[in-house]
Structure 1
């Protein structure tokens, strides 16, 4: 399509981010949420009623509708490939939740399907649109630290509920869930590719789950830059914030640090002993969804592509191979 209102469907509210994306669409003048498909009838009808849109019991019914131009795929990780490939075959533009897929082969097939169909494929990496992250990238590009030499990063939080700890549906645990964000950000901020990964993974915080909840990674980028990453579900259920994403870059002329989720008001209530952090400011979701709408409406390239999703996934897959071998492993794209 070229111009006009973008009519959007959402495939599954299995992922926690779906609610936010639906809310973002409501705030965009050139977009409208038309329908929701979900194989969980209770969840799907509840969300359809909440947003005042139609409900479809399966994605095929939604994709067959001529009044839908684009879809947001927020199903379980293992189902992304089937939903994206079907959407491309139906001529729908796609914003796909991260990780793009759970295997490299699926990701490549998804990218090829969208390219051949002539539809947009954007990977949902909202942290690229976070104001603190953008400020960090701009500062480094302006030479604030000179030549970057090393990076220390964290992305940790509470363990998500439900299928996130199912190795089949999720494709992995904390490393799968949290590494993709930082891998993408570091590629984007530094303008370099990861060439090898050394990782250790374990299940320490939540005994009995079948996936990793702790991951420590050492990434080597082209040019020899090292980056360490703590990607873990290491915060208790009562933790006052969703999680934390930090990046510190050491250069030959200085150091710069960024805390993406440190915009909050601290509130302690002496009456009941509660301590809360109330976030303020804009996160990355609204801008990310708006860029997808613009790309789908105008045919312009999305700012975050399917290939970006693939590159981040390759880092994750190399990390899991390394965690099993206890040796550094090359990234498939290197």
Structure 2
């Protein structure tokens, strides 16, 4: 069996852990190492999976990996992706793809020029209820979609997420891109106008932890999204993803984290939710590796990453200008 050789670059973003776990389950994958300038952060995984460690990701790129998975701070995505492409490595890059239109275009072009694939990490596309909703809309079951009310709220992770130079922004960029990718995909239309407001309402930090984003699509659909770090530590689950998709002939409601058991824990001193639904990260990895092995185009491209991020960038521009921004 031909094994796909996969290297992991940075564990700054939490997805890296679940991706590593998913890769380790696959007999057709060989993990060739973890690169992270912070050895302490990755030491448990080096030990558990007996993997080579690289302090400098360029050493990993110089090796024989077929694929690299980049889960670094947002500001490093572009440089790492471009260098990986120059080393002829396929790339799965964490969202948001980049922090400016220019750097995202350079990432996409570098991968095209070097004949490698660039996939953006949007695991929410693999949620069965999201897929079922898209299929129902494609069949015309709720008529024409006129509006969507969505939430993608979470807790504040802190660390580099609160450092604008590394993250590019706060809750708004962190959470807008996920939902906008889903809507770009489901609506098959282009966002044409964005208005947003943000503030620091929950944590007393110097970065947006609350954001409301309004988007108008070319096909007339209007979207309102709450993208905030509004969940406190005591809340039973760290994040949510809901969408109410309103059509001329019906409504579809999605609540991804409804698949839970309620756990009342003496140890933690508060209620918790134990999620039992499908593992979307594992499904994303399965699809990515399948596409690489079969030489098929990846399902969620660099262009998809670009198209969702430009909405978040436009939201910040609208906040700065205090008026709607055309895309």
TM exceeding 0.5: yes
Classify 1:252/1:9 alpha carbon distance in 2 versus 1 (closer, same or farther; 3 Å): same
- SS of equivalent to 2:153: strand
Match of 2:18 in 1: 20
Cα pair 1:120 1:299 within 8 Å, conserved = no
Distance in 2, Cα, partners of 1:272 & 1:82: 41
Note the C-alpha offset of 1:258: 0.3
Residue 59 (structure 1) aligned to one of 52, 57, 60: 57
Q: Tell me, yes or no, if structure 1 residue 211 matches structure 2 residue 244.
A: no
Alpha-carbon separation, structure 2, partners of 1:96 and 1:50: 24
1:283 CA displacement: 2.7
Cα distance in structure 1, aligned partners of 2:140 and 2:16: 37
Structural mapping, 1:1-334, within 5 Å:
4-66=2-64, 68-207=65-204, 209-269=205-265, 274-331=270-327
| Whole-angstrom CA distance in 2 between matches of 1:224 and 1:241 | 34
Structure 1 gaps, min length 5 = none
Which runs of 5 or more structure 2 residues have no equivalent in the other structure? Answer: none
State the SS of the aligned residue for 1:181.
helix
**2:234 touches 2:270 (CA, 8 Å); kept in 1?**
no
1:272 positional shift = 7.7
SS in 2 for 1:8: strand
Equivalent pair of 1:131/1:283 in contact (CA under 8 Å): no
Residues 116-163 of structure 1: CA deviation (Å, up to 9, x unaligned): 000010000000001121121112112221111111000001011310
Aligned-residue offset at 1:294: 1.6
Alpha-carbon separation, structure 2, partners of 1:128 and 1:211? 28
> In the aligned structure 1, how far is the partner of 2:44 from the partner of 2:168?
27
For the 8 Å contact 1:120–1:295, the answer to whether it is kept is no
Q: CA RMSD in A?
A: 1.4
How many residues were matched structurally?
327
SS, match of residue 271 in structure 2:
strand
Deviations 1:184-204 (A, max 9, x none): 000111111111100001111
Q: What is the DSSP-based 3-state SS (H/G/I as helix, E as strand, rest coil) of the residue aligned with 2:284?
A: helix
Q: Relative to structure 1, is the Cα distance of residues 50 and 186 closer, same or farther in structure 2, using a 3 angstrom cutoff?
A: same
State the SS of the aligned residue for 2:152.
strand
Q: 1:269 to 1:168 in 2, by over 3 A?
A: closer
Q: Distance in 1 between matches of 2:238 and 2:186?
A: 24
Shift of 1:248: 0.6
- For residues 97 and 270 of structure 1, do their structure 2 counterparts lie closer, same or farther at Cα, with a shift above 3 Å needed? closer
Deviation at 1:228, TM superposition (A): 0.3
Give the conservation status (yes or no) of the 8 Å contact 1:133–1:258: yes
Q: Deviations over 1:78-110 (max 9, x none)?
A: 000111001000110000000001111110000
CA distance in 2, matches of 1:297, 1:272: 44
Q: What SS does the corresponding residue of 1:175 show, helix, strand or coil?
A: helix
Measured after TM superposition, the shift of residue 41 of structure 1 is 2.0
Runs of 4+ displaced beyond 6 Å: none
